[in-house]
Amino acid sequence: MKQKRMLVFLFALLAAIYSWAQNNSTIIISGTVKDKEGLLLPNVSVTEKGTSNTVITNEAGTFRISVKNRNAELLISSVGFQPLTVKAADNISIVLEAKSEELQEVAVVGYSSKKRIELSSSVSVVSGEKLRDVTSNELTSLLQGKAPGVVVSTGSGDPTSGSNVLIRGAGTINASTAPLYVVDGNIGGTFNPNDVESVTILKDAAATGLYGSRAANGVIIVTTKSGKSGKAKIEFTSTAGFSEATTGNFRLMNTQQLYDYQKTFFNPNPAALNTNTNWWDLAFRRAKVQSYNLSASGGSDKTTYYISGNYYKEEGTLINNDKTAYNFRTNISHKLSERLKVSVLLNGIFTKDTYNPDATVYDAYLNMPFDSAYNVDGTPKDARYGTWYGRDRDNFLHSLQYNFSKAKSFNMNGDLNLDYKISKHFSFATYNRARLFNYRSDAFYDKRSKEGATDAGALYNSTSFTNKLLTSNRLKYTNNFGNHGITALAVAEVEKTFAESIDTYATGLPPGRPVLSTSTGEKKTISGRVDESIFSKYLAQADYNYSNKYFFVASFVNEYSSRFGKNNPSANFYQLGASWIISNEDFLNVKPITFLKLRASYGTTGNADGIGDYAALGLYSISQGASYAGLPGAAPSQKANPDLTWERMTTSNIGVDVSFFKRIDLTVDAYNRVSTDLLFFRPLPATTGYDGVYENVGSIRNRGIEFNITSKNFTRKFTWETNLNMAFNRNKVLSVNQGRTEVFTGARQPVAVGRDMDEWYMPVWAGVNPVNGEPLWEKLLTDADGKSYVIYTNSYNAATRQYIGKSAAPKFTGGVTNTFAYNNFTLTAFLNFVYGNRVYNDSRFYFDNDGLYESYNQMQLAKGWSRWSKPGDIATHPKPVHGRTDASNASSTRYLEDGSYIRLRNIRLSYDLPNSVISKAKLSAVRFFVSGDNLWTLTNFSGVDPEVVLSGGESSIKYPISKKVLFGLNISF
């Protein structure tokens, strides 16, 4: 009996021991965390539910956590993803769903990549796919209307010309307003738009400040495509179509219209009615556009590659004008070991451009329809001889038989990058780039042409060579522990630029012999120059986040530039930023709001662009003009300024990111940017012996609000997504140094304290006197009490030049994109718009001149316009007077027009072949598409196109932009 009791006791003891062991032993659970696209997610919190036991996934998205029993539950959470609770299990695979796909976009910000959701800065991300809905070989034109606060304006339809980019308004007078471009982690670089993976646009100081002196106007970061391990992917894209010049509301008169108009003030020759030449149609054409791109990518666990080649050819809509570009890229990365990775990136671009002289565009507008372009035998007529009604006696068709203007260039960039993992927390990277750029242009004017006759044939050659060397060395510390995340970065960077050029000019060349050695003229000029500059930078940055709710960033930059005076060659800049993801707080439990984040930043940046490499130095020119005893001498040519220093921009930014119902994403930013120590070339009196001197003068403020909203309107079999972005910016001149209140006095847009920098200043057009048809302007007078009042005068010289309260800067800009998809069809329509700017239509001086020049063709009156013909007429145009002297077409608000417009920038329809069809051909994707660019524009502007370079706001004799229709095929296998 006693023995039996002992056995029962032993069994009970063993059961107790087993139970205690089960409750007190730990179990190791491992797993991986991915998003729905299969990408591994680092820095994800894995918490044993009901405890403070937390681990963080590593860079490979894996984790290991000790739990007390196998029935434990794990809470998986990460910034921007829906939290998920799962039961503990061995080798568990977890997939997280994003709260907002837009906020999961990866932004490259200052030497590292982060998700937008983690940033305290104002940034915009444009994917490569969204860029390629417009066909162009220039990234800038592809960005138009794609991001709030980024204004892209094109002053010409010439395919060899580029676009102007302005981010958050102009904050300088003389210096450059262009943003800084960063390609694949290094400042500068080249790329083909087809190779772009994404574009990140940095707008506030917390983001741009890391790039120091050249980031004052914003930063555009381009990341090119790279290979991924796995099966090789080959992709081919072919695009071809045609383009035509847009004419907007503008129409020129034909022979009958011009003859009837001239009869009201002049006695034109009736023989002119025998000819009706449309010079516009002779100058412009339906042009061809074609682009072919082939790429291959793939790799293994150790080596990845991306290789591409592109051919692009765009004929200008203007005859004898085209652009041809050949582009290749090779991006290769190889893991030499588990810790060391080497990357080699090569990009080369060879271009050939053919230019048409400006005279062709000029003649297209102004040549008379009375003049015939061809002789009886069909050859182009030489306008210098025989009957010719036009003022300039110029026939571009005759000149283009003999003359040419062309250029070619080769641009090569090579990057060698090393990334080394020193330890678990420390890494080192060195990014190095060499750039070689060669350029040559030739312009030949045959002695048989009007342009070459004076010099008996002339040839201009220009050759330049540029070399840039850059090294950027980066030490990084990263540590995630508990609810804390810390990243620290130190950077040392140096860039050196060397450039040289030589220009030659020779005369007396035989017909059709554009070679310098054939010159027989006495006039032969050779000039050249050499430029060198150095930039260096030291950077320290620290990032901290707590519990994926609170984010802080601080950075400090010291930069040196050889461009500035010996007293101020270097400058310090700093940046601060913070953000709070409120939606991760327990107290915010509002179901419609799936994400809410507040951001704030403050900091300084600098500007060193827009001045020469030797702007601060005292320079001498050696020439025969300063000769002594027949020997060339040296004379002062530039006054030194040893105190010349950086422009400085101080920017504050407040932003909010919010998502509703997982369907609507809204981003709003408000900013204030003050630019001080503006770089300015101040003219000096002639008695000083200098033209002027570069100085730091004055300050300008830009303020604005931007917003971007994306909504998923339908998400089932039929999908519809809308994106709208808008930006409002206002600028104001705060000060001008040297006790002045204005610079550029007398200009149409002087820079004056208290005014918009782009405000127009000119006589105010008061219309037409209905009694006699004479022009009227405003004249401001002051009474005895000091009050101003207005009278009207018919004397232009007596009219008062005044600020009119209208600006070349728009009140707001933006873009809207709608994407519809059903089955395998996708339709995308993208419109961009500009509102509230005033454009000075300078070209109306010539072809809307009220009879001043009877030898120029004239424009047809726009809708709503009328011409005075008898007493009592209420008209927009005065009575025409032959050779008039009352300056009705002089600079005034008469030619200042509303530049607002909305444009269908692109519409694109694509169709993807079903997998059941393409799998038989062993293809992975086949897409057909048709697209149209600039097919429709709504505007009241009377010229060919309201789009102008907004920082200037003038539209002169313009090469109009083109509308395009393109057809394409994309094949992947």
Instruction: Write the pLDDT tens digit of every residue in 744-801.
Output: 777 899 889 999 999 999 999 999 999 999 999 999 999 999 899 999 999 999 999 9
Q: With pLDDT > 90 as the criterion, what percentage of the chain qualifies? A: 61
Instruction: Write the pLDDT tens digit of every residue in 134-175.
Output: 767 778 778 888 888 888 888 788 999 888 888 888 888 877
**Mean pLDDT confidence for 212-228:** 85
Position 11 pLDDT exceeds 80: no
- Whether residue 63 is found in the same domain as residue 108: no
The CATH number of the domain holding residue 113 is 2.170.130.10
> Residue 812 falls within a domain, yes or no?
no
Provide the pLDDT for residue 341.
Answer: 96
**Mean pLDDT confidence for 653-673:** 94
Position 545 pLDDT exceeds 50: yes
One-letter amino acid of 76: I
- Whether residue 180 is found in the same domain as residue 160: yes
Query: Residue 12: pLDDT band by 50, 70, 90 thresholds?
Result: low
- Whether residue 85 is found in the same domain as residue 106: no
Choose one of 69, 96, 123: the last residue of a domain: 96
Alpha carbon 964 to its chain centroid, in Å, reads: 21
- Whether residue 210 is found in the same domain as residue 119: yes
365 vs 230: CA distance, rounded Å? 58
> Residue 746 falls within a domain, yes or no?
no
Provide the pLDDT for residue 20.
Answer: 47
Query: Residue 874: pLDDT band by 50, 70, 90 thresholds?
Result: very high
H/E element, 352:
strand 340-355
H/E element, 10:
helix 2-24
Structural domain containing residue 144: 102-224
Provide the pLDDT for residue 460.
Answer: 93
- Whether residue 90 is found in the same domain as residue 112: no
- Whether residue 171 is found in the same domain as residue 191: yes
Instruction: Write the pLDDT tens digit of every residue in 303-331.
Output: 999 999 999 999 999 999 999 999 999 99
> Residue 91 falls within a domain, yes or no?
yes
One-letter amino acid of 800: T
Average pLDDT, the chain: 89
Domain tally for the chain? 2
Position 473 pLDDT exceeds 50: yes
Backbone angles phi, psi at 845, to 5 degrees: -55, -35
Position 124 pLDDT exceeds 80: yes
Position 902 pLDDT exceeds 60: yes
Position 581 pLDDT exceeds 80: yes
Query: Going along 269-339, which residue ranges are E strands?
Result: 287-299, 303-315, 322-335
One-letter amino acid of 106: V
Longest CA–CA separation in the chain, Å? 144
Integer CA distances (angstroms), 880 to 707, 767, 771, 846, 853, in order: 49, 14, 15, 14, 10
- Whether residue 168 is found in the same domain as residue 213: yes
Position 17 pLDDT exceeds 50: no
Backbone angles phi, psi at 88, to 5 degrees: -65, 140
Provide the pLDDT for residue 250.
Answer: 96
> Residue 164 falls within a domain, yes or no?
yes
> Residue 553 falls within a domain, yes or no?
no
- Whether residue 110 is found in the same domain as residue 77: no
CA-wise closest residue to 537 among 564, 513, 571, 512: 571
Beta-carbon count within 10 A of 938 CB: 12
- Whether residue 61 is found in the same domain as residue 140: no
- Whether residue 173 is found in the same domain as residue 65: no
Paired tokens of 373: 């372009």
Beta-carbon count within 10 A of 198 CB: 21
> Residue 734 falls within a domain, yes or no?
no
Q: Which of the two residues, 579 and 3, has the higher pLDDT score?
A: 579
Query: Residue 4: pLDDT band by 50, 70, 90 thresholds?
Result: low
Instruction: Write the pLDDT tens digit of every residue in 674-706.
Output: 999 988 888 888 888 888 888 888 899 999 999
Provide the pLDDT for residue 795.
Answer: 96
- Whether residue 123 is found in the same domain as residue 214: yes
Provide the pLDDT for residue 10.
Answer: 53
Provide the pLDDT for residue 894.
Answer: 97
Position 189 pLDDT exceeds 90: no
383 vs 373: CA distance, rounded Å? 8
**Mean pLDDT confidence for 821-834:** 95
Instruction: Write the pLDDT tens digit of every residue in 475-493.
Output: 999 998 888 999 999 999 9
Q: Indicate the range of 267-271, 521-525, 957-961, 969-973 predicted with least confidence.
A: 521-525
The CATH number of the domain holding residue 46 is 2.60.40.1120
83 vs 76: CA distance, rounded Å? 6
Position 936 pLDDT exceeds 50: yes
847 vs 35: CA distance, rounded Å? 62
**Mean pLDDT confidence for 98-110:** 61
Instruction: Write the pLDDT tens digit of every residue in 712-737.
Output: 999 889 999 999 999 999 999 999 87
Is residue 513 within 8 Å of residue 458, measured between CB atoms? no
Position 106 pLDDT exceeds 70: no
CA-wise closest residue to 577 among 538, 606, 545, 548: 545
- Whether residue 122 is found in the same domain as residue 81: no
Instruction: Write the pLDDT tens digit of every residue in 334-386.
Output: 999 999 999 999 999 999 999 987 789 999 999 999 999 999 999 999 999 99
Choose one of 224, 248, 277: the last residue of a domain: 224
> Residue 154 falls within a domain, yes or no?
yes
> Residue 877 falls within a domain, yes or no?
no
Q: Which residues of 562-586 are buried (b: 16+ CB within 10 A; e: fewer)?
A: bbbbeebbebebbbbbbbbbbbbee
Choose one of 198, 224, 250: the last residue of a domain: 224
Half-sphere exposure of 323 (CA within 13 A, CB side): 19
Q: Is 225 helix (H, G, I), strand (E, B) or coil?
A: coil
Provide the pLDDT for residue 881.
Answer: 95
